[in-house]
Amino acid sequence: MSLALIVALPFLGAAIPGVAIHAGRNAAAILTGAITALALLLLLSHAPAVLRGELVQTRIDWLPALGLNATFFLDGLGLLFAGMILGIGLLIILYARFYLAKSDPMGQFYSYLLLFQGAMVGIVLSDNILLLLIFWELTSLSSFLLIGYWKHLPEGRQGARMALAVTGGGGLAMIAGMLILGNITGSYDLTVILQNKDLIQASPWYLPALILILLGAFTKSAQFPFHFWLPHAMAAPTPVSAYLHSATMVKAGLFLMARMWPVLAGTPEWFWIVATTGLVTMVMAAKIAFFKDDLKALLAFSTVSHLGLITMLLGFGTKAAATVAVFHIINHATFKAALFMSAGIVDHEAHTRDLSRLGGLRTLMPITFGIVTLASLSMAGIPPLNGFLSKELMLEEAAHTTWLTPWAMGLLATIGAAFSVAYSFRFLAHGFLGPVRDDYPHKPHDPGFGLWAAPAFLALLVVLIGLFPMLTAEWLVDVAAGAVTGEPVAVKIKHWHGLDTPALWMSLAAIGGGLLLLGSYPRLRAIWDAAPRPEAKRIFDGLIEPLATLARSVTEGLHNGNFGRALTLAVLTIAGVALWAFLGGAHAAGTRALLPIDPVVTGIWAVMLVAAAATPFLHRNRVTALLLTGIVGLLIAPLFVLFSAPDLALTQISVEVVTVLLMLLALHFLPKETPAESPVPRRVRDAAVAGIAGLGIGGLAYAIMTRQPAFDPISAFHLAQSKPGAGGTNAVNTIIVDFRGYDTYGEIIVLGIAALVIFALSETLLRNPEVTRLLATRPRDRESGDRHPMMLVVATRLLLPMAMLVGVYIYLRGHNMPGGGFVAGLVFAIAYLMQYMASGYEWSHARQRYDHHALIGWGVLVASLAGVGAWFFGLPFLTSGYEYVSLWPLEKFELATAAIFDLGVFLCVLGAVLLTLASLSRLALRTGERANTHAYDTEGGR
């Protein structure tokens, strides 16, 4: 449990500083420190066991199905890293308290810091690679926040984005790599995976997995060619840089390589990829660092260089080299963190980090000078400091490694070392030695104890480890290296290896060469400045920016709201896919006996087709187009009749009438002409697209009509049960109100919703002053100026009651004869529409006594309750019963509960049409129309 707690503590505590900051900056700092300290204590409580060589484990099942579990384990390596993360974390918290300005939101800073800390500890303690991946990406995210902490700085924002892109991207590659490892070994638990070296290295998936995982490690540890994000992350406040780039974030990659070392290392692939990358990174970065004027930039590249050094050592694949790597990880953390903090101090005091503007600080900032001297000499590898010990061992390993030639590795390592001597001394010389200047941006002097305490402590470690390595570090190196190599390690760290060791001469050469380089700095600098060199940021932006611009143009270009293109693509896709599917199956021609050609039908058919075919040519005059549409619609009705679908015919006619009338009214608000916009080629293309679809649908229709269904249609049951089961002779109606009454239930609700939507939109339009102004001022249309024909007015007055009677009749007979609530509702509605057409908006509007919303609502309620009623008989929704009733003078008819449902249909339909009508009228009333105000306002009326 407690291992999980060590990881959880920083996360749980992350909220605290945000709250504590209200109690002051000290409170926030102390609480943050307390959380970290507590985690550190918990960790140390396990140290004895680990040092005894035991494996501390915690397992909490999370997602067993996937093999993702909250399992943690602590071994030497984990102990070393967790110790560094939490220990240096404490120092950073102290340092940051005094570094950050009053204006900086410190609570936020500590929260981010704790999140990051938790993620780092999670990485190094995870026993499950999926869990490790989670923490891995969490470090990317939290470091994004830390690096972008000074959000007002553009470099900060860009640096943060770059770091996230590179390290997060690498993390994604690593996901794939880890999953492959899991597939090979059949488990995502590290402790299992680490047992399966042979299995993994024998697998054909070894190389892909290796490359993908190394992508993650290299990006995180800023290895060439992914090194460029790290210097740009320096826009972060110095405490962040000191933390991320000395002990934590960038060490995560090294940790991973060390963690996976037992199963991935030892192959030629590993050697060539890892050792080469490390070597190149070490030399290249050391060289760049030498020429950097910004203290933090210099340290950044030196960090990259040292990371390369450690990567190279891990790449050698030998136990000895791995041990040295572990040792150097410790040393680098100590002196690099101290140097970053010192650089921050200089920046803080002198208000500049530019070496060209510094110098002579030795006398002004003696304490800082002392710290920097120790740390930078250690970085240069000067005995007896700890940096010397590990570098000596590194050179020894390099000297004994054959890379291309037996001596190339040793030579390049020495060159790298020489540059690192050079930039270390330059840091010291150009920053602190030399004469005191009088042009510092701000008069520098040593800061308060709070700011230099942390680096001083680290400098002390540098010395102690340097003087008494066997006492201070050896035991830790042993357990950690033991964990890496999988075998007990007992390293002997000495200052003097004797004259016959190549390392001695290599370090001497390095120091000499370094001093030489520093001596000839001005000349070299001139060459350097003259030489063209690729600027990493420019390359990165050169990749990302065009990508983003491309994405922008593709996205917004494709999805620019061009309806025609979208529809064309859709139609062609559907047609193409349908054809592809059709050709993939077997098709037998239909065997059904066909109907003889009927002259009447053919006549109607011909007229309908002519009207339809004419529409595309005449559609620009919208009234004409609407009339043609109406003709086609009306002509479909007789077809229905002749093909034995009277109900369809009735519905088709009534719906068609209402539709056309509504569209006519709507046309009142729209232009009467459609401008000729599309050029001929486009029309031809559209015609072709439409034609393809038409062919397809026509073909399908023919294929259906000419064959028998594969199985007996379920409608046989409906015909058989219509009378006995549903109590109606009209099978279509019994299906509508009974067998499939639920469809109808949905259908009328669709109508009701339609009306509500129409009402809501008209409301919104009327609330829009812009629209109402437009309405009031739009030119009066000729049509609307007409007077109402007297005949029509009178006719409609008479029509209304008759229509209603017809409606009632249609409603009542519906169950047995063609008709029903729906058609009845429409008939009623048409009667009203006629009034409206004849006598104008205002008159009809004034006479719509009852609220149409209520009609719709009651319709839905009645229909629903008719359905729910069945529950009380223990029957499902919409179960109907019926009884025969004879009601003079009507023919004997049967009253089914379905009739109640049908009543709901009737109400809903009527309400829907009337509400639509009313909404249109309300709009129309706002138009400049002054005619048609009086009911009998007919020709010659006045």
Partner 1 sequence: MEALVAIAIGVLTAVGLYLMLRLRTFPVILGLTFLSYAVNLFIFVSGRLAENAAPIIGSSETYADPLPQALALTAIVISFGMTAVIMIMAIGGHLSSGHDRIDLGDDA
Partner 2 sequence: MNHWIIAPVVLPAIVAALMVTLLRGHLALQRMASLAAILALNAVALALIWSAATNGPEAYFLGDWPAPFGITLMLDRLSALMVALLALLALISALYAIGSGWDAKGAHFHPLLMFLLMGIGGAFLTGDAFNLFVFFEVLLIASYGLMIHGGGSARTRAGIQYIAFNLVASSLFLFALALLYGVTGTLNMADLALKLPALPEGDTALLRVAAVMLILVFAIKGALVPLQFWLPGTYANAPGVVAAMFAVMTKIGAYAAIRFGTLVFPPDLPATGTVLVDLLRPAALVTLAVGAIGVLGAATLPRLAAFAGIASTGTVFVAISAFTPATVSAALYYTLHSTLATAALFLVADLVARRRAHVRLVDPAPIAQSGLIAALYMAAAIALAGMPPLSGFIGKLLILDAFRDQAPLVWTAILVSSFLMILGFARAGSQLFWKPAETDIAPDAPGPEPLAFAATFALLAALVALTVFAGPVTEALTTTAAGLFDAQAYIAANGLGATP
Residues from 668 through 727 that contact partner 2 (CB under 8 A): 697, 700, 703-704, 707, 709-715, 717-718, 721, 725
Residue 242 touches which member of partner 1, partner 2, none, C-beta under 5-8 Å by kind:
none
Cis peptide bond prior to 225, omega within 30° of 0: yes
- The whole-angstrom separation of Cα 484 and Cα 789 is 100
Q: Which residue stretch of 254-262, 419-427, 610-618, 855-863 sits at the interface with partner 1 (rule: CB under 8 A)?
A: 610-618
Q: What tokens were used for 417?
A: 């070392």
Positions 605 through 624 that interact with partner 2 (CB under 8 A): none
* List 55, 165, 411, 774, residue binding partner 2 (CB under 8 A): 165
* Contact flag: residue 574 with partner 2 (CB under 8 A): yes
Q: Minimal distance in Å, beta carbon 97 to partner 1?
A: 51
Residue 636 touches which member of partner 1, partner 2, none, C-beta under 5-8 Å by kind:
partner 1
* Contact flag: residue 21 with partner 2 (CB under 8 A): no
**Which CB sits closer to partner 1, 286 or 632?**
632
Positions 807 through 846 that interact with partner 1 (CB under 8 A): 816-818, 822
- The whole-angstrom separation of Cα 844 and Cα 853 is 17
- The whole-angstrom separation of Cα 287 and Cα 282 is 9
**791: which residues sit within 8 A by CB, 6+ positions away?**
none
What does the DSSP assignment read for 337-399? HHHHHHHHHHHHHHS--BGGG---HHHH-HHHHHHHHHHHHHHHT-TTSHHHHHHHHHHHHHH
Whether residue 69 contacts residue 3, with contact meaning beta carbons closer than 8 Å, is answered with: no
Residue 157 touches which member of partner 1, partner 2, none, C-beta under 5-8 Å by kind:
partner 2
Binding-site string for partner 1 from residue 770 to residue 789, where x marks contact by CB under 8 A and - marks none:
xx--xx--------------
- The whole-angstrom separation of Cα 207 and Cα 209 is 5
**Which CB sits closer to partner 1, 573 or 764?**
764
Residue 906 touches which member of partner 2, partner 1, none, C-beta under 5-8 Å by kind:
none
CA-atom Rg of the chain in angstroms: 43
* List 101, 404, 499, 588, residue binding partner 2 (CB under 8 A): 588
Binding-site string for partner 2 from residue 807 to residue 846, where x marks contact by CB under 8 A and - marks none:
----------------------------------------
**Which CB sits closer to partner 1, 445 or 552?**
552
**How many residues of this chain bind partner 1 (CB under 8 A)?**
119
Q: Minimal distance in Å, beta carbon 137 to partner 2?
A: 5
Q: What tokens were used for 246?
A: 């000395």
**How many residues of this chain bind partner 2 (CB under 8 A)?**
123
Positions 503 through 562 that interact with partner 1 (CB under 8 A): 556, 559-562
Q: What tokens were used for 819?
A: 């008709």
Q: What tokens were used for 842?
A: 């205002």
Q: Residue 49 corresponds to which amino acid?
A: A
Residue 615 touches which member of partner 2, partner 1, none, C-beta under 5-8 Å by kind:
partner 1
Q: Minimal distance in Å, beta carbon 707 to partner 2?
A: 8
Q: Which of 531, 540, 506, 538 is nearest to 287 (CA)?
A: 531
* List 260, 325, 409, 626, residue binding partner 1 (CB under 8 A): 626
Q: Which of 234, 244, 203, 338 is nearest to 296 (CA)?
A: 234
Residue 513 touches which member of partner 2, partner 1, none, C-beta under 5-8 Å by kind:
none
* Contact flag: residue 636 with partner 1 (CB under 8 A): yes
* Contact flag: residue 625 with partner 1 (CB under 8 A): yes
Positions 181 through 240 that interact with partner 1 (CB under 8 A): none
* C-alpha 722, offset from chain centre: 55
* List 133, 284, 330, 385, residue binding partner 2 (CB under 8 A): 133
Q: Which residue stretch of 19-27, 87-95, 193-201, 730-738 sits at the interface with partner 1 (rule: CB under 8 A)?
A: 730-738
* List 75, 137, 347, 349, residue binding partner 2 (CB under 8 A): 137
Binding-site string for partner 2 from residue 860 to residue 879, where x marks contact by CB under 8 A and - marks none:
xx--x--xx-xx--xxxxxx
**490: which residues sit within 8 A by CB, 6+ positions away?**
478
Positions 178 through 207 that interact with partner 2 (CB under 8 A): 179-180, 183
- The whole-angstrom separation of Cα 265 and Cα 286 is 26
**558: which residues sit within 8 A by CB, 6+ positions away?**
none
Q: Which residue stretch of 22-30, 287-295, 427-435, 635-643 sits at the interface with partner 1 (rule: CB under 8 A)?
A: 635-643
Q: Minimal distance in Å, beta carbon 569 to partner 1?
A: 12
Q: What tokens were used for 239?
A: 């405490």
* Contact flag: residue 934 with partner 1 (CB under 8 A): no
Residue 555 touches which member of partner 1, partner 2, none, C-beta under 5-8 Å by kind:
partner 2
- The whole-angstrom separation of Cα 382 and Cα 388 is 5
Positions 726 through 755 that interact with partner 2 (CB under 8 A): 738-743, 746-747, 749-750, 753-754
Buried b (16+ CB within 10 A) or exposed e, 408-443: ebbebbbbbbbbbbbbbbbbbebbbeeeeeeebeee
* List 103, 356, 644, 886, residue binding partner 1 (CB under 8 A): 644
Q: Which of 285, 379, 372 is nearest to 332 (CA)?
A: 379
Positions 905 through 924 that interact with partner 2 (CB under 8 A): none
Binding-site string for partner 1 from residue 700 to residue 729, where x marks contact by CB under 8 A and - marks none:
xxx-xxx------xxx--xx--xx-----x
- The whole-angstrom separation of Cα 129 and Cα 118 is 17
**Which CB sits closer to partner 2, 607 or 704?**
704
Q: Which residue stretch of 184-192, 380-388, 667-675, 892-900 sits at the interface with partner 1 (rule: CB under 8 A)?
A: 667-675
Q: How many angstroms separate the Cα of 696 from the Cα of each of 375, 584, 586?
A: 81, 16, 17
Residue 493 DSSP code: -
Q: Which of 601, 593, 598 is nearest to 706 (CA)?
A: 593
Q: Which of 587, 603, 589 is nearest to 635 (CA)?
A: 603
**Which CB sits closer to partner 2, 734 or 839?**
734
The sign of the torsion formed by the CA atoms of 838, 839, 841, 847 equals negative
* Contact flag: residue 179 with partner 1 (CB under 8 A): no
* Contact flag: residue 629 with partner 1 (CB under 8 A): yes
61, containing H or E segment? strand 56-63
Positions 68 through 97 that interact with partner 2 (CB under 8 A): 68
Residue 179 touches which member of partner 2, partner 1, none, C-beta under 5-8 Å by kind:
partner 2
Residue 648 touches which member of partner 1, partner 2, none, C-beta under 5-8 Å by kind:
partner 1
* Contact flag: residue 595 with partner 2 (CB under 8 A): no
Residue 842 touches which member of partner 1, partner 2, none, C-beta under 5-8 Å by kind:
none
Location of structure tokens 């409603």:
811
Whether residue 114 contacts residue 157, with contact meaning beta carbons closer than 8 Å, is answered with: no
Positions 498 through 557 that interact with partner 2 (CB under 8 A): 544, 547-548, 550-556
* Contact flag: residue 166 with partner 1 (CB under 8 A): no
Residue 147 touches which member of partner 1, partner 2, none, C-beta under 5-8 Å by kind:
none
* List 2, 501, 659, 864, residue binding partner 1 (CB under 8 A): 659
Cis peptide bond prior to 801, omega within 30° of 0: no
Q: Which of 311, 511, 278, 473 is nearest to 386 (CA)?
A: 473
- The whole-angstrom separation of Cα 755 and Cα 852 is 9
- The whole-angstrom separation of Cα 625 and Cα 419 is 85
Q: Which residue stretch of 71-79, 261-269, 495-503, 570-578 sits at the interface with partner 2 (rule: CB under 8 A)?
A: 570-578
Q: How many angstroms separate the Cα of 736 from the Cα of each of 247, 285, 422, 659, 871?
A: 75, 80, 92, 22, 20
* List 48, 448, 585, 724, residue binding partner 2 (CB under 8 A): 585
Whether residue 96 contacts residue 30, with contact meaning beta carbons closer than 8 Å, is answered with: no
- The whole-angstrom separation of Cα 193 and Cα 298 is 39
